[in-house]
Each structure stands twice: as structure tokens, then as C-alpha cells.
A and B are shown apart, each in its own frame.
Chain A
């Protein structure tokens, strides 16, 4: 948890403190941006008050204020942004839609926002920000099926939109459609092959899907999950979720390997060229590594050591529980 709230860090649902701090500084920031005097027209072009950071900060404050319910401040920020970039800017249109969604008091008002979106899209169907906004609105209104079909049609037009693929994967996961979720995540990784969190996420989804499988398929999926976690760790040291996934998948894999009398080497698909399942020893080693790393992260993060303070508390807590559970298992 970062002590001073950075203006440039967007507020996320996983870090409410930061969001709160950001929204509290909104008034002070907008005051600091008001200069006491401005030059007349031609000379004003020469004075530089512009920067990427300024507008990113306005956007972040706007989002933070909406989250914390400070709608007045949010409105001021939105006005600043609208003045600067104009009403027709796609991003501003999305932000305005967001503001209206957030300030809507009733279902009818939300329906009104939806109608506005539809009108915009009727005029110009290529405004992706509004299309995404509309999907988000559908999702938040509980109309998941419509949202998913919209998202699929969006991805038909723009198949390299990693954000959309990730969103779609999330929706499939909620529906329990693991296979589709895995496919979507794989699409995300095609666009962004170095996204370690996506690798870890894929590992998690695969692990979940493995729970429902049996025999060779389960073993294969678990091995795939383990490998995804390993790739995630490879891309990002000390990535908690990656180790967590590794720990889970290797523990489960060890159990599965124990159960299986003979490792089914022939289960590897000769056409796809699947790798052979790992040996028990290596899985054990991986499990030990994951355990050791998790316990180190938990220890250091809970003692607030410098350089180890960026972990989500909930995740650390979950990791501790996992370690404790496995320790009990060993005791037993």
C-alpha cells in the first residue's frame, strides 16, 4: 500500500485507501491548476500548462471521486476534461457516460443512459468507448447474456482488443464456462504474451476446470495450470498469485500423481505435440519452492518490510491460509 496517493495511479477496487486519498485531494488539486492570470490569445499558445500527467490526474481523480461518491468534485473534473478535449472526444464521451451511470438514481435513469448510448452508436457504430461502456452497463444491470453477445460482436470487429477478451473470459468464468474462459485468456496472451497476471489467471482458470475432470484429462490440465503459473513467475519475480497458483496446482498434481498407478505417457497427443507430464520429483521441488516463496512473501509483507509492501492484503491473507492448511496436512 503506497503511503501518499499517487495522482498517476488509477484507482482500483482492490485498493480503496488509495481511492479515498485520491478523492480527498481533488479540491486541492483543481485549485493548484487554476493559474492566477492567463496571457492574451496569441501569447497564450506559447505558455505551456499542458502535460500528459495533468490530464491523467484529472481522470484518476474523477474516477476516484465517483467511487467515493463525491459527485460534485467528479463533475468539476469532468468539466475540465470536456473543456480541454471537447464533447466529441470518444474518451470524454465514455467518461460522461460513466458519470451518468454513477449518478443514476433509478433503473429508469440507467435505461435513459442506455438509450443515449444506443443513439450515439446509431450515429456512429465505431465508437468503441461507448460500445464498451454499453457492455459494462448491461453487465452491471445484470443482463449478462446481452453483454456477452455484444462483447462477442465487438471482438468480431476488433479481435486484438485484449481488454475485451479478458472481460469476456471473466464473464464466461462467472457462467462456469471454463473452456471458453480459457480460450479467451489464450487470445489475450496472443496479444500480450508477456502479461504475467494473465498467465497466472489462466493457470487459475485451468486449475478450476481441472477440478471437474478426471484421470488423464485432469492430470493434463493440472500440468498445464502448473506450467502457466511457472511462466507467470518467470515473467515476474515474487508474484504472489503466480506462486499461489503454483502451490495449488502442484499440491493437487501430487495428489493426482499419487492416485495414478502409472503415469499415462500415451495420453500426450502426438498431433499437438504435448509435453510429457513432469516427474513427481520435479513437481515436488516446484511445490517446495512455491511454499518457501509464499511463506517468505507472507512473512515479509505482514511485517511491512521495505520493498515488500505492494501486496494486496486479502491475497496475503489467502496465501497464509493456504500455507497453514498445507502445514496441517503435513502434521497429520
Chain B
């Protein structure tokens, strides 16, 4: 009788499991990021006929993006390469008055439509690029349409200068650079193409060799070596080689930054300028800013930086005599500053952004054309940290002789990319979040405190507990003056259902947890998991040199505390709500940690070694030729509601629950095989293992371990009997496969993994999935009662899907229909292919690119799990795998309900006398 009903209910549940339309874009959030912009950023008009321009940038994450300067929204973006790229190898050029931008990254040169980001052409030159330029010939012989590009490729064997057709991407000519000189840069003047190569001398110094080429044919016209004496020790000392301008220049300095030498390419003369010291601080960095257009004035700016101040000097080049003269200098200002060059017709303007002001000057004279104070960049920083501008790109509007407005897109030291219009921050993009390497949810502090208090009450005798409670309530009364004034507002919001904008402090359901993210640049950023519009704080926690990487582990050992550990240093703890560093509690927690885990294991050079109380306990070394791919332990906080699975006939199948389970993946490259081991990390026993041959090891292998089940996915190579395909394997561990039987564990109250080894009975099932999974996670709820979803990152379709566990259940009956008792459990017949239901996609319409990992956290209510995915993009949502059974939906309108009750009450009182009158009339109608 109940069977069809339950079957119908389960069917219903299956079909409605999805992101609801009214929740989409409300409970989830997504930051489409491009990463911190590199030097290759520019303002450009995508449509030459219109004055509206976009900001184009190739970021340090290898993403080319166009951002609307009006509101900071992303117009389009293209991922050039998601692998970590070395600095200074990305190039972005846009020819004046063209609707094409040309990017160069790695060995690839590509042209993109500036308005919509469609690729026009792409050329792979087969080796690392040294430079990409646009050839701006002014001889009038060029065909209309996109201008040609010049590319300089570096690798010693096929280093060459190539001219690429701007419309089709075909190579017009290529000039090979032989002789083992390192190609450095290519630049073009109006008549010639210059390739600058670095020639290593016998003494180990570098000499600059300039090769001039004919732009039409690519034949060599001339070659000479600049007399750079012995100043150039490394390529780092070369400040800049001016690109397209009327007079391209080379500037370099000695390693002590005491002399600046400038050469106008095409001439052999070198101008020398001495660099003055500033308050005894040595100059630490010199940058050169020059306009990029052929028909601009040949003025350039040199930006000097010491550890605590910066200044700049402007130089003029006399193109006829090829002489360089210093025109004027800009004053020293303490702190860092960013300069940017903008042009208007032939005039050149320099915009200087410092800590507290934006100044625009003309290159011709030192008179200040515009000065705007910057009161606040409007971004969150660490306590006591001064936000410094690092890089900027500016767009200057000129009206007559004056500057009417300046828009500067400034990269700040916090990693935010801010647009300043006349000194006012208009928008900011938190681009540091594109380089998050580790993230963790922080348990809310206040709730934790209350939990501890309640525990204290539960474990003491009734009288003490009563006194404790009374004292606690008296303490709570102190908060009353704060609560009372906000009470009417809160009630009003409660009525109208507008209390969406809760913050971390007043979080009823635990949706507003703090997420701590450690970025590649050594910063720690704290976000509100329900409201990404505001960054809580953002501080530098690791002082990393450039090119240095770190692998931090972010965790939350207790409520309100973030702990950052890296391989090099011991853990440091921070207050989650303010970002302040905590010092005092550290030693205590270390002891607690050690007490909690008697067996500790570490991975060392492809073996796993475990120690118990400092002595070696066990070690796991994979077989010959195998390497360890990954190790996934069961999460520390993994609550399980039931120790068994209740079958349809009310019998129980007992789960094999052990807190010390881990899934280890090894791979053998020669045999193209992968092996998966379930380990007991205390005893080192292998509880289950399975091996797959014919595995595509270049594809991602992801794995997860939770509760009493594990899952992994791999890509199988094509074989004689099966095509190439992606597989998802799910295994579940039971104490025994006989219902109501716990096997040998039944008689023991306590047991030790070391003394008795009980092997679990494992059921596994393999499914074919349409896409590779790069990372897996599982939803977590407070008590573990809610059913679980396996979260899988699909890198190919830029998506995150939530697979319900019922779909993956290894107990799905194969080759037969489920029996009635199995139907009662909700088991359906095994089907080898899982089609990813569009309703399972958590990101729905959004395109989430480059996800590295997904972290989950339980909310305070049982039904809900918080999900936070990071990588290039940041994506987060709330999931209720068993639906929101303990919270009223957003469509519940308290005001409407109360209004209905009130209206009914009024109607009752109004109608009562009328009804009474009518009744009396009826009684008196007849005798």
C-alpha cells in the first residue's frame, strides 16, 4: 500500500533536485576574474569610430580580458594559458584606430576582435616569445585592415623575427637570428625594424647588438654593437627598449643603479645620466615609460624607486640630432607610485598615481595640468597597512589646453584593481582572488562560544549548571541596550522579508561564514561566504620574493581563528573577523594537535611514512615505477548520523566507519596504469585496492573519501573493445554484507586498528561520465543527516556539478530490476552511463573557469551546506541536498500572512453583528 506512494515520492524528489529559479543569482555568487593585470594593459577603443574605450589586459594568470571602465564589468575574456607563466612573457598590443588586439603568450601569437573577444587568428611560433610588436608603417603602402605584427621568438635553435599578416595570421617573412645571441626585443620605427639581441662576451658581460631589417622584405640592412662597456651583467639591468615610437630607444643601467644610459636605436651614440641618491637610500628599481605611437612626441619618463620614495625624470629626444636631453624632473614623494603614459594626437601626458593623489603633467613642461587628491582607494587592507599603487594605465581627456578628466586603472598592493576617475575610486575588482592557492571556511566564533558554554552546563551538576546559566543570562542582558534600538528595524525587516543583507555578526543560519583565502602573492583575504561584494580584510602574511612560490594550508582549528601553515614555517593564527595575528594561543594548540593524533604520516619522495610517538610505525612505498599521485584522507570533521544503512525491510547494513581512512592514488607511467588504495592510516593496512590499466595519466585523476565511501574518476584510453572515456568509480565499505550482522566487530565494545584488523566488505560500481572531473568534494552538513552530494569540477565545460549520492550508490542492482524492498530504499537499476543532468549544474548560466578546488562547510542549520570554489574564478553557493526542510523559503511572506490574519479578524468582527441580526430575523420570520 505504501510502496507506490514512497516510490512516487522518491521519483518526485529526483526530478525536482536542482537549482531553483528563484534562488539562482541570489544564494550563489560568482566573480569572473582575469587575475592581476600585468604591465601589458591598455586603454583602447574597440570601435575606431566611437570614443568609448575598454581596458584590455593580459593578466599574470594568462588571461586576456576586456573590462568596461565605466563599471568594471568584464566584457569578454579569453584564457590564453592556465598554467603558471613566468613573468614578463605576456604581450598585448593594439594598433591605433584598429578593432583588433594582438596578444602574445608562450609561443602563441593571437589576434582578437576588440569588441567581442572572438579570435581572428592564432599562430604558434614553436618557441617562447621574446616580444610582439605591431608594425606601424607610415609609408601608405599598407593594405587597409589590421596592421601586421612582428614577433620575436627566442629559443636558440629557431630564434627569428617574423612578420605576421594582421588580417590572416600568415607569416610574411621570417629573419632567422643565428649565432647564439639571446633575442631580447623587437621595435619598429617608421622606416625600419630593429631587433635587439644580447651578445654575451668572453668576460661574461652582455653587449647589445642591434640588427636593423627592412620591414617589407625582411632583409638585413645593418648590424652594430653598442659600446655598453662592462655595465651590463644581466638582462635585468636593461630597463627598457622603447617600442614603436618616432625614435625608439634603449636604456640600461649598471647593477648599482648609479648611471642611466640611453641610446636612440639607429644611432651609435649613447647619452649618460648619473642617478642621484636619495637620503642615502639606494635606487632599487628604474622603469621607463614612453608613448607607443609612431607619430607622438619623442619624450619619455624614467621612474626611480627607492625603498621609501620615488620620483621621475622626463627626457626629450631630438629626433634630428638623435640627442637625448633631460627636460624636467618630478618631485620625490614618499611611498610607491605608478606612472602611466597617455597620448592625445602628438602630445604625451604622464599620469602619476601615488598613495594620496593623482597628478597629470604634459611631457613638454613640468606644469601640473591636473591634480586630484585620493582620499581612499575603497579597498580592504590589513590593519596598519598602507595601500600602495603598483601599476597603472591611464586615459586622459583633453579639452583645449587643459586636462578635463583622467581615468586610471591602478593595480594596488592589495591586489585590487581600482579605477580612479579624477581621484575618486569608481570600481574595484578583487583580482587577487584569481590566484587563490588555498582556502578554508572559518567556523563562526560566537556560535562556537555558545556551544562550549552549553557543553559546560550539560556536564556539571544541576545546581552549578543552574548558577552558570543564570550568570550567562545576566551577561547576555548587557547586550540588551545594543539590541533594543535595532529591534523595530529587525521586526520590520522580518515582516517585509527584506533581511537579506545580514552580516557576519548577526548570522542566524550560519550562511555568513568567513572564507579565508591565501593567494599566490602571500596575502590572506577574508570574505563573507554569503556576500562577496565586500572583502572583510586582506593582509600580507608571507613575504615572498618574486618568482618564489608557497604552498600554504589554511585551516580553522577553532571558532573565529584562521591558521595558515606553509611547508617552511610553523602555523600562524589570525582572528577571522579582524585579521589580527594571534600569538598567545599557539603553543597550547600544538599540544592538543599532537594529543589528538598519535599517528602522524608524511609523504616523502614517493613513499608514505608514519610515526607513532616519534617512532616509525609503518611506511607505504608503491611498487616499482609507480609514483604517488594524491592522498585524500577522510575529513577530520565528518559527522555521520547513522552507523548503518536501513534497508527496505527495516534491517540494517552496518557501515565500516573508521576515522583513519585515506584514499591513496598511485600511477605507473610506463604501464599507463593507476592503482587506488584505501588505507588505514593508523595501522597502515591496505583495506581495499583496485588497479586500472590503460589510463590516460595526462588527464586529471580526482578522488574523494567521505563517511564510509570513496570515489575517484579517471580517463581510460581507447582500447580494442572500448573507446576512450571518462570513468567514475564509487566504492562503499561495509562491516559485513549480511544485514543485521556486524561481523567480528559485534562482540567488541572497543577495538584498536593496530591490534585487530577487520577488513571491510567493499562494493564498487563504475560509471561512464561524459566529461573529465578535475576535482571532487562532498557536501557537509552539521549532523550528517542530510543526504550527500558529490561535487565535481568539470574543467572542460567550466562547470561544477552536484551529483546526488543516490545516483552513485554502488548498491544499485545490476542486470535486474530492483526488488520491492530495494525500491523502498530508493535504489534504481544500475545504468553504466551517468548523464550529467543539466539541473545538477550548480553554476547554471555562469561559466566558471579555472577552478582549482572546492571547499565545503556546514551551515548552522542541518539542511544546508556552503560551497566555495576557487581558482581563476571564485564561485560559491548554498546547497540543500535534501531540500531546505528546516528553513522557510524566500517566497514565504510574513507580511502577507500577518495581513491575512488581520483581515480575517477584522472581517469576523465586522460581520458578526450582521449575522446575529440575520439569525434573529430568521427566527422571527415564522411562528
Residues of A within 8 A of B (CB): 45-48, 50-52, 55, 85, 89-92, 94, 128-129, 132
* Bound Cα distance A91, B924 (Å): 7
A318 to B917, CA, bound (A): 46
The 4 closest A-B pairs by CB, nearest first: A48-B913, A50-B916, A50-B917, A129-B927
- A179 to chain B: closest CB distance in Å? 29
Ordered by A's residue number, 10 sampled pairs between the chains whose C-beta atoms are within 8 Å are A46-B910, A46-B913, A47-B913, A50-B916, A52-B919, A55-B924, A89-B924, A89-B925, A90-B927, A91-B927
A55-B920, A85-B921 given; A50·B913 CB < 8 A: yes
Q: Is B926 at the interface (CB under 8 A from chain A)?
A: yes
Q: Is A90 a contact partner of B926 (Cβ separation < 8 A)?
A: yes
CA distance A55 to B925 in the complex (A): 13
Residue of B nearest to A128 (CB): B927
B84 is an interface residue with CB less than 8 A from chain A: no
Report yes or no: B927 in contact with A46, Cβ–Cβ below 8 A: no
Query: Nearest A residue to B918 by beta-carbon distance?
Result: A50
How far is A48 from B927 in the complex, measured between Cα atoms in Å? Answer: 24
A46 / chain B contacts, CB cutoff of 8 Å: 909-910, 913
Complex alpha-carbon distance, A146 and B136, angstroms? 132
Docked Cα-Cα span, A45 to B918, in Å, equals 12
Q: Which residue of B lies closest to A163 (CB)?
A: B927
Chain B, residue nearest A129 (CB): B927
Residue of A nearest to B913 (CB): A48
Judged by a CB distance under 8 angstroms, whether B923 is at the interface is yes
Contact in complex: A85, B924 (CB < 8 Å): yes
> Is B914 positioned at the interface, with any CB of A under 8 Å from its CB?
yes
- Of all chain A residues, the one with the shortest Cβ separation from B919 is A52
Given A45-B914, A46-B913, A47-B913, check contact A52 B923 (CB 8 Å): yes
Contacts of B914 in A (CB 8 A): 45
**B912 near A: Cβ within 8 Å?**
yes
User: How far is B496's CA from A93's CA once the two chains are assembled, in angstroms?
Assistant: 58
Q: Would you call A45 and B913 a contact (CB within 8 A)?
A: yes
Closest to B909 in A: A46
B887-927, CB under 8 A of A: which get 1 and which 0?
Answer: 00000000000000000000001101110110111011111
CB contacts under 8 Å to A, within B140-168, are none
**Which A residues are CB-close (under 8 A) to B916?**
48, 50-51
Specify which chain A residues have a CB less than 8 angstroms from the CB of B926 in the assembled complex.
90-91, 128
Interface of A, secondary structure class, is helix
- Are B920 and A52 closer than 8 Å at their CB atoms? yes
Cα of A90 to Cα of B922 in the assembled complex, Å: 12
B923 (CB) vs chain A CBs: closest residue: A52
Q: Mark out the residues of chain B between 720 and 770 whose CB falls within 8 Å of any chain A CB in the assembled complex.
A: none
Task: Tell whether A132 pairs with B920 under 8 Å between CB atoms, given A46-B909, A46-B910, A48-B913.
Answer: no
Known: A47-B913, A51-B920. 8 other contacts (CB 8 A): A45-B914, A48-B912, A50-B913, A52-B920, A90-B927, A91-B926, A91-B927, A128-B927
Chain B nearest Cβ from A126, distance in angstroms: 11
Instruction: Considering the complex, give the chain A residue whose CB is closest to the CB of B914.
Output: A45
Smallest CB separation, A303 vs chain B (Å): 40
Task: Output the least CB separation between A162 and chain B (Å).
Answer: 12
Which of chain B's residues have a CB closer than 8 A to the CB of A55?
920, 923-924
Looking at the assembled complex, report how far the CB atom of A42 sits from the nearest CB atom of chain B, in whole angstroms: 11
Neighbouring A residues of B927 by C-beta, 8 Å: 90-91, 94, 128-129, 132
Q: Knowing A45-B914, A94-B927, say if A50 contacts B909 (CB, 8 Å).
A: no
A53 shortest CB reach to chain B, Å? 10
* Chain A neighbourhood of B925, CB < 8 A: 89-91
Chain A contacts for B923, CB-based, 8 A: 52, 55
CB-nearest residue of chain A relative to B926?
A90
Chain B: minimal CB distance from A111 (Å): 25
Q: Give Cα A89–Cα B923 distance, bound, in whole angstroms.
A: 11
Give the docked Cα–Cα distance between A89 and B914 (Å): 19
Bound-state Cα–Cα, A55 to B913, Å: 15
B919 surroundings in chain A (CB, below 8 A): 52
CB-CB contacts below 8 Å: B287-318 with A: none
Alpha-carbon gap, A91 to B921, bound state (A): 11
Say how far B192's CB is from chain A's closest CB, in angstroms: 98
What is the bound-complex CA distance between A89 and B917, given in angstroms?
A: 15
In the complex, chain B residues whose CB is within 8 Å of the CB of A51:
916, 920
Residue of B nearest to A44 (CB): B913
- Nearest-neighbour CB distance to chain A for B923, whole angstroms, equals 6
Closest residue of chain B to A47, judged by CB?
B913
Alpha-carbon distance between A50 and B924 when the two chains are bound, in angstroms? 13
CA–CA, A181 to B798, complex, Å? 101
Q: In whole Å, how far is A124's beta carbon from the nearest beta carbon of chain B?
A: 14
> Which one of A50, A91, A92 has the highest number of Cβ atoms from chain B below 10 Å of its Cβ?
A50
Residues on A with C-beta less than 8 A from B912 are 48
Residue in B closest to A127 when the chains form the complex, CB atoms: B927
Q: Does B910 contact A50, Cβ atoms closer than 8 Å?
A: no
A91, B923: Cα distance in complex, Å: 10
CA distance A52 to B915 in the complex (A): 12
Measured in the bound complex, the distance between the Cα atoms of B923 and A51 in whole Å is 11
C-alpha spacing A46/B917, complex, angstroms: 11
In the complex, chain B residues whose CB is within 8 Å of the CB of A89: 924-925
**Complex CA–CA separation, A51 to B920 (angstroms):** 7
* Contact partners of A94 in chain B: CB under 8 A: 927
Name the residue of chain B whose CB is nearest to the CB of A59. B924
Inter-chain CA distance A129–B925, complex, in Å, is: 11
The distance in angstroms between the C-alpha atoms of A51 and B909, with both chains bound, is: 15
Most buried by A among B910, B919, B925, B927: B927
A46 to B909, CA, bound (A): 8
Taken together as a complex, chains A and B put the C-alpha atoms of A14 and B912 apart, in Å, by: 39
Query: CA separation between A91 and B715, bound complex, in Å?
Result: 96
CB distance from B247 to the nearest CB of A (A): 94
Q: Closest approach, in angstroms, between the C-beta of B924 and any C-beta of chain A?
A: 5
Whole-angstrom distance from the CB of A93 to the nearest CB of chain B?
10
Write the nearest CB–CB distance from A327 to chain B, whole angstroms: 46
Contacts of A50 in B (CB 8 A): 913, 916-917, 920
Task: State in angstroms the CA–CA spacing of A90 and B921 once bound together.
Answer: 12
A55: nearest residue on chain B (CB-CB)?
A: B920
Report B-chain residues with C-beta under 8 Å of the C-beta of A129.
927
C-alpha gap A128/B926 in the complex (Å): 9
Distance in angstroms between the alpha carbons of A90 and B909 in the assembled complex: 31
Residues of A within 8 A of B913 (CB): 45-48, 50
In angstroms, Cα B926 to Cα A90, docked, is 7
Residue of B nearest to A53 (CB): B920
Q: Could you tell me the distance between the alpha carbons of A47 and B920 in the complex, rounded to whole angstroms? A: 15
Q: Which residues of B contact A90 (CB under 8 A)?
A: 925-927
Q: Chain B residues near A45: list those with CB within 8 A.
A: 913-914
| A132→B914 CA distance, assembly (Å) | 32
B contact residues around A52 at 8 Å (CB): 919-920, 923
A279 shortest CB reach to chain B, Å: 47
**Most chain B C-beta atoms within 10 Å of own C-beta, residue among A45, A92, A94, A132:** A45
Please, how many angstroms separate the alpha-carbon atoms of A47 and B917 in the complex?
11
Question: How many Å lie between the Cα of A48 and that of B925 in the bound state?
Answer: 20
Docked CA distance A204–B926 (Å): 32
A-contact 0/1 string along B87-129, CB 8 Å cutoff? 0000000000000000000000000000000000000000000
A94: nearest chain-B partner, CB-CB: B927
- Closest B residue to A161 by beta carbon equals B927
Which of B919, B923, B924 has the most chain A CB within a 10 Å cutoff? Answer: B924
* A52 vs B924: C-alpha distance when bound (angstroms): 9
Separation in Å of the A135 CB from the closest CB of chain B?
13
Q: How far is the CA of A99 from the CA of B523 in the complex (A)?
A: 103
| Bound Cα distance A50, B918 (Å) | 10
Shortest Cβ distance from residue A121 to the other chain B in the assembled complex, whole angstroms = 15
Q: CA–CA, A126 to B912, complex, Å?
A: 33
Tell me, in angstroms, the Cα distance from A128 to B925 when the chains sit together: 12
| Residue among B910, B920, B921 with most chain A CB within 10 A | B920
Residues of A within 8 A of B924 (CB): 55, 85, 89, 91-92
Chain A: CB-nearest residue to B927:
A129
Closest to B916 in A: A50
CB distance from B781 to the nearest CB of A (A): 53
Q: Complex formed: what's the CA distance from A47 to B910 in Å?
A: 9
The distance in angstroms between the C-alpha atoms of A90 and B913, with both chains bound, is: 24
